[in-house]
Amino acid sequence: MIDATDETFEGDVLTSELPVVVEFTAPWCRPCHAIEPFLAELGREHEGRLRVVRLDIDANLRIPARFAVLSLPTVILFSGGEPVEVIHGAQPRRRYAEAVARLLAA
């Protein structure tokens, strides 16, 4: 899992040749910590085909504002630098796996 910042987001996500799953998180967010193993596992399962990125909203204010992240956890799936799906709140692993399958099939 890549730790992105406001400064690295464009290179890590928007110009990535691979589809990207971005978790917007914060150190105090327990539900965020609960889903991180699911997302990391999906990144390992699809290594070379998918990038998984984490962005701390407390340390980086511009990017969460740009994508209207108002609650945590928020996961946004990007393809070609554009958001294609948003998942709000902690969900079962299956929900993230299905979203990744759709992202990779597109």
CA dihedral angle for residue 33, residue 66, residue 11, residue 52, rounded to 10 degrees? 30
Of 25, 21, 22, 88, the closest CA to residue 56 belongs to 25
Assess whether 72 carries a catalytic annotation.
no
- DSSP labels, 28-93: T-HHHHHHHHHHHHHHHHTTTT-EEEEEETTT--HHHHHTT--SSSEEEEEETTEEEEEEES---H
Assess whether 75 carries a catalytic annotation.
no
The residue annotated as part of the active site, out of 20, 32, 55, 72, is: 32
The residue annotated as part of the active site, out of 21, 22, 29, 55, is: 29
DSSP tag of 2: E
Would you please indicate which residues are annotated as catalytic (active-site) residues?
29, 32
